[in-house]
Structure 1
Amino acid sequence: ASAGTTKDELADLAEQAARLAKADLVTDMVGEFPELQGLMGGYYARAEGLPDAVADAIRDHYKPVGQGDEVPSAPVTVAVSLADKLDTLSGFFEIDEKPTGSKDPFALRRAALGVIQLIAENRLRLPILLTARMAMGIRLLEERATTSGTKSIRERIVFGELSNIDNLTAMLLANLKEAERAAFRTRFESRFRRVYSVAPELLDFFADRLKVQQREAGVRHDLIDAVFSLGGEDDLVRLLARVKALQNYVETAEGANLLAAYKRAANILKKEDWHGCEGEIARTGEEDPLALVDDPDLKAVIDAKMAERHQKELSYTPEPAEKTLIEALDQAEPKAAAAIEGEDFETAMAALASLRAPIDRFFEEVTVNDADEDKRAARLDLLARFRAAVHKVADFARIEG
């Protein structure tokens, strides 16, 4: 909350401003001079005696309209501006009206860039994917405004309690009369499922806009790819912090050497078609690419399989360079994981940097494709473990060089 104003009061002011934000579009003044939209609305709001925060939000909610334009920072204005742009983007994506080539008749690229600027400049922790689904889901709920329980369902969407499409559908059906359910299934259920499937497309659109913006700011596009390709990341503030740390690291000699070692390990694993312990877990093809990092149940399965492999490794005495890499991973993995959890990406990179010398020595002194099958399997698993440790920070396969 801002000084002297509670969060609830700010929310009320933002709602009031949002309801009036487009009212000036029907006035003769804006009809005659369209470039005055927003500005006239602010004047009218002040003339009506509305709070300054509301008038300012009405006046400035179109900002920013391009690179170099002022980025609002007042909480009410930021909220209304974000809501307006996200509503526009989600609405057009829902009906499959997306920019193609040089054509962007509804200025969706500009709207996406505005959202990125608002989030980055104000350091807002706003999950894009969930927010897009909220906007689309609430829009559909408005079409069922007479349905009992709709307000409660809307609130639960806003607070992220119904982010699963099946749970949301079940809740909606429970609030419909028997006679309405068949009609809902025919007309609305497929649209709700469309909402949940199209939101990732909008996230990809933001990723493309972010690459353009960051490239103009001097950031390499491949580093954006390296972070985005992990999946599951839609917090732009956290993503940009990770990209910044990654760029600082890969431009050092240590970073370049680790990248080379990573690519060598990845090429060996690809050639051998070796997926390590993760490859032994049954998949449906629908999993989140970050599930193995974040899902405690899957992590437990992997840890158990790693323990089994460790027992096999005890059947021979690891070579010194092999043992050194194992010990380095034992130290680096928890340090990197803790740093990522705390969003200290520089420290996470430093933890990875500690692997550079051990992995270089491993490649120099150890034969991976040993004639002994147990040694070969253990060493390929060790390379897979090294690759997985690096992947927790970024997908180094996407990095050029």
Structure 2
Amino acid sequence: MPDLLLELFSEEIPARMQSQAAEDLRRLVTGRMVEAGLTYEGAKAFATPRRLALTVHGVTVRSADIREERKGPRVGAPEKAVEGFLRAAGLASIDEATIQSDPKKGDFYVAIVEKPGRPAEAIIAEIVPEVIRSFPWPKSMRWGARSAPQGTPFSPPEAEGTASLRWVRPLRAILCTFGPETEEPAVIPVEIAGIAAGNVTYGHRFMTDGAPIRVRRFDDYVPALEAAKVVLDPERRKAIIETEATSLAFAQGLEVVEDPGLLDEVAGLVEWPVVLMGRFDERFLAIPDEVIRLTIRANQKCFVVRDPATGALTSRFLLVANIEASDGGRAIVAGNERVIAARLSDARFFWEQDQKVRLEDWAKKLESVTFHEKLGSQAERVERIARLARELAPALGADPDAAERAARLAKADLPTAMVGEFPELQGVMGRYYALAQGEAPEIANAIRDHYKPQGPGDLVPAEPVAIAVALADKLDTLVGFWAIDEKPTGSKDPYALRRAALGVIRLVLGNELRLRLMDIAIASYDQLAHSLEGRANVWAYLRDGAEGYDCVEVARGYRANLAYWDTAVLAHVDDPDVQVRNKRFNFDGREIIVPRFAARARVALDLLAFFADRLKVHLREEGARHDLIDAVFALARETGSAEGAGEKAGEPQDDLLMIVRRVEALGRFLETDDGANLLTGYRRAANILRAEERKDGEGAFDGPPDHHLIEERGEPEERALLHVMEAAERHARAHVEAEDFEGAMKALAELRPAVDAFFDKVTVNAEDPALRANRLRLLNRLRRATLAVADFSRIAG
């Protein structure tokens, strides 16, 4: 079967775009081929700095013939309807249509439309220009005279009628061949913006003479490029770089510091990778390793090298050239050494100058740094974080004073020169500066680690002080943006709030923390309100504000100062002397101004719902069953026995660790015989209750069963079920209180024999309405007893 080879040859494509561009080319071309009726066996795309290439093998020679029946109007329909049908079906007259009969709708016209298959070459010739014109580059450019808009000074006469073309960089040539292995491939007749497809490509920009290279198909395309000093496959280029870099470092008794991101980038900068080693002055090693690595990486795209015995960086570095230089690369290395020396000299200056100012003094500069116009400055935010970290510290086993101290210094490195040059080093430099001025290691580590975890692969802080500051930082961010209603929507999350929520989840689960997030969210909200006290000089945090809103009482003269808060007058007070926080103020205008802050309870509940969604995603990614997650999340914050279950319905579950333990316990238990017994017993009771509630109404059988009625008139199996259930509930409750969820479910599973006997011997829908209702209440008690662990109605299977 024929194969397709397509190459789009251009000026240098940015490295960050190459991988996605190759995938887009494969997806767009093969997708349109399939839409046009062509099939294929396989496809693979490649990218180098100067080309996108695609090979599609096993393509069908032509698309299949299509015979389609198009239903038309009924016989005798208005003339306009018939004319429209003829145009759509491509018929010259109604005589070319057939008539079909329908017993219900009568006779109607049917057109038989036959579309013969088309040669693959013709289809591909249409697809390639479409793909080029609609290619989804993140950024593109209009280039060349032929691409200038008509009628502009840049559009020469010869460009008249030429459509505008946008591409990431100027497109220079198109290679497009198609044919089977046994025949000479044909060049697909493609032309766009004056560029006609051919069967030639070009080699390395500097290591060849630029002469065109003729190719037939993919099998000779790859070796032809290799001969012209171009490695087509980016994975092979990465392998060459890794191998040569490792060899050069090993020869010096050193090892390369792995950097997958840099490796991907460098592989997209070269077509013929050549690894060289350089060095810089050892005096620069006094700078922190992170600074050296980032300086060399960000500016020169070079790899750093370390001593395997100590793990410390050395004064060597590795660069990847795109040419085999005649001097062995000495000039290239020398040029890179000069630039790196200059960059490291700047970094050393920043390092030395920053340390001349204490972190406390750097922190004062945060007063002029706005965090968000509605949430205050970074200094105000630091104050909130410090207070919340102090509140959290006892529950985390951290020293409150250390937690508060670390929080107050956590953002102090933001105004420093080093972080201004390398924002990625925020926190990292704060740790170095803290240690240099004599702070305790736990405080310095908390400064570095409070941003963590920032991604799925990031480590979770384990030191108590760091955990306290990290949680306070993330929760302040979340509560603040929830309070001003700046929540993530769809794919938009400009403040990375989903990442912050996942960070809280990983901190809690990774350190097995038992925390009530509802209480913490409210405490964070309180800190937010308190931090705004200085904005109006007389900020009053009224917990009983109208509809739960937090109010600020201000004199008329402060109204202008609050205008940017989008304030609104809520009410007037009669007494001009108003007591606020045990202080008396005279309010000239006697106005109560309400900033647009949602009620703290509403904010906390909405935020907890967001945490629940993020935790569900996290658990699914960890492999937990979807239905088990739903079964646990359907519970209220606390559940108890049949009589007590659901008393706090509607309250969220905010102990994330306990939620996860319930899900894990439920999954393990359902794999056992006891789990099957519990699920079967539950379903027998739930099914009959569901059927009877449809008749009597939902909630008709709520409330405890009448014990006296069961003892006096009930069947032996009915009394046995009641007695066994009471014991099972006690045992289950004790296990739940001990957080032994598997034990609780095992206690409930022991109800299975009594449940089976009840259904075998007792008529639930007795003729006596009192007996019927009481037996259904007994079954409802059984159904509710399982809520001590999970909502079993959500479990599939």
Measured against the shorter chain, the TM-score band is 0.7 to 0.9
Deviation at 1:314, TM superposition (A): 3.4
Q: What value does the CA root-mean-square deviation take over the aligned residues?
A: 3.1
Of 269-278 and 7-16, more deviation after overlay is shown by 269-278
Query: How do residues 335-350 of structure 1 correspond to structure 2 at under 5 angstroms?
Result: 335-350=731-746
TM-score, with normalisation over the residues of structure 1? 0.79
SS of match in other structure, 1:357: helix
Judge conservation of contact 2:398–2:464 (CA < 8 Å) in 1: no
Corresponding position of 1:263: 683
Tell me, yes or no, if the aligned pair for 2:717 and 2:761 is still in contact at 8 Å: yes
Q: Structure 2 vs 1, CA of residues 265 and 9 (structure 1 numbering), >3 Å: closer, same or farther?
A: closer
Question: Among 172, 196, 199, which residue is 2:601 paired with?
Answer: 196
Task: Give the one of 644, 647, 655 matched to 1:235.
Answer: 655
Give the CA deviation at 1:181. Answer: 12
Q: Distance in 1 between matches of 2:731 and 2:443?
A: 47
Shift of 1:92: 1.2
Distance 2:470 2:710 in 1: 58
Quote the residue 2:385 is aligned against. none
Shift of 1:388: 1.3
Structure 2 distance, partners of 1:385, 1:182, is 59
| Offset, 1:213 | 1.3
Residue 218 of structure 1, CA deviation = 1.7
Offset of residue 183 of structure 1: 7.0
Which of 437, 457, 478 aligns to 1:68? It is 457
Is structure 2 residue 629 aligned with structure 1 residue 224?
Answer: yes
Q: Deviation at 1:9?
A: 7.8
Opposite residue 267 of structure 1, the aligned amino acid is N
Residues 339 and 184 of structure 1: CA distance in aligned 2, closer, same or farther (over 3 Å)? farther
1:265 Cα deviation after fit:
2.2
Q: Answer yes or no: is 1:365 the counterpart of 2:761.
A: yes
Q: Structure 2: 5+ residue runs without aligned partners?
A: 1-392, 552-578, 638-652
1-structure distance, mates of 2:676, 2:616: 22
Q: Which has the higher contact order (CA 8 A, sep 6+)?
A: 1
CA shift in 2, pair 1:187/1:180, >3 Å: farther
1:314 counterpart residue number = 711
Q: In the alignment, which residue of structure 2 is the partner of 1:84?
A: 473
| Aligned counterpart, 1:187 | 594
Gaps of 5+ in 1: 280-301
CA pair 180-127 structure 1, distance change in 2 beyond 3 A: farther
Whole-Å Cα distance in 2 between the matches of residues 137 and 76 of structure 1? 22
Alpha-carbon offset, residue 119 of structure 1: 1.0
Aligned partners of 1:277 and 1:83: how far apart in 2? 46
What is the deviation of 1:142?
Answer: 2.0
Q: What letter corresponds to residue 311 of structure 1 in structure 2? A: H
Name the counterpart of 2:405.
Answer: 16
Whole-angstrom CA distance in 2 between matches of 1:353 and 1:320:
20
1:109 and 2:516 matched: no
- 1:93 & 1:139 partners in 2: Cα distance? 11
- In the TM superposition, residue 337 of structure 1 has moved relative to its aligned partner by 0.7
* 2:674/2:746 contact within 8 Å kept: no
* Structure number with higher helix proportion: 1
What's the counterpart of residue 139 of structure 1? 528
Kindly report which structure 2 residues correspond to 1:147-166, keeping only aligned pairs within 5 A, or say none: none
* Superposed CA offset, 1:162-190 (max 9, x none): 9xx98x99xx95535354699785426x8
Change beyond 3 A, Cα 1:8–1:338: closer
Asked whether 1:393 is paired with 2:789, we answer: yes
Distance 1:11 1:205 in 2: 29
Q: CA deviation at 1:237?
A: 1.9
Q: Confirm or deny: 8 A CA contact 1:245 1:349 kept in the other structure.
A: no
Deviations 1:103-126 (A, max 9, x none): 222111111111111111212111
Query: In the alignment, what sits opposite 1:290?
Result: none
Q: Deviation of residue 8 (structure 1)?
A: 9.7
Whether 1:119 and 2:508 are equivalent positions in the alignment is yes
In structure 1, distance between residues paired with 2:674 and 2:749: 7
1:335 is displaced (CA, Å) by 0.4
Given that 2:461 and 2:507 are in contact with CA atoms closer than 8 Å, whether structure 1 keeps it comes out as: yes
Distance in 2 of aligned mates of 1:144 and 1:268: 59
Distance 1:9 1:119, change over 3 A: closer
CA offset at residue 363 of structure 1?
2.5
Q: Against the structure 1 CA distance between its residues 396 and 22, is the aligned structure 2 distance closer, same or farther, given a 3 Å change threshold?
A: same
Secondary structure of the corresponding residue to residue 352 of structure 1: helix
Larger deviation, residues 5-14 vs 46-55: 5-14
Task: State which structure, 1 or 2, has the greater radius of gyration over its C-alpha atoms.
Answer: 2
8 Å Cα contact 1:275/1:384 also seen in 2: no
TM-score, normalized by length of structure 2? Answer: 0.41
CA contact (8 A) 1:269 1:275 kept: no
Cα deviations across residues 326-377 of structure 1 (Å, max 9, x unaligned)?
Answer: 1220210000111111211121111111112222332233221111112201
Distance in 2 between residues matched to 1:15 and 1:24, nearest whole Å: 16
Change (3 A) 1:325 1:105: same
How many angstroms apart in 2 are the aligned matches of 1:391 and 1:327?
19
The Cα offsets for residues 76-124 of structure 1, whole Å up to 9 and x where unpaired, read as 1111111111111111111122222222221111111111111112121
Structure 2 CA distance, aligned partners of 1:122 and 1:181?
Answer: 53
The 1:185–1:256 alpha-carbon spacing in structure 2 relative to 1, beyond 3 Å, is farther
* 2:487 corresponds to which of 91, 98, 103: 98
Contact (CA 8 Å) 1:276, 1:385: kept in 2 or not?
no
Question: SS at the partner of 1:177?
Answer: strand
1:355 aligns with 2:355: no
| Percentage of matched positions with identical amino acids | 51
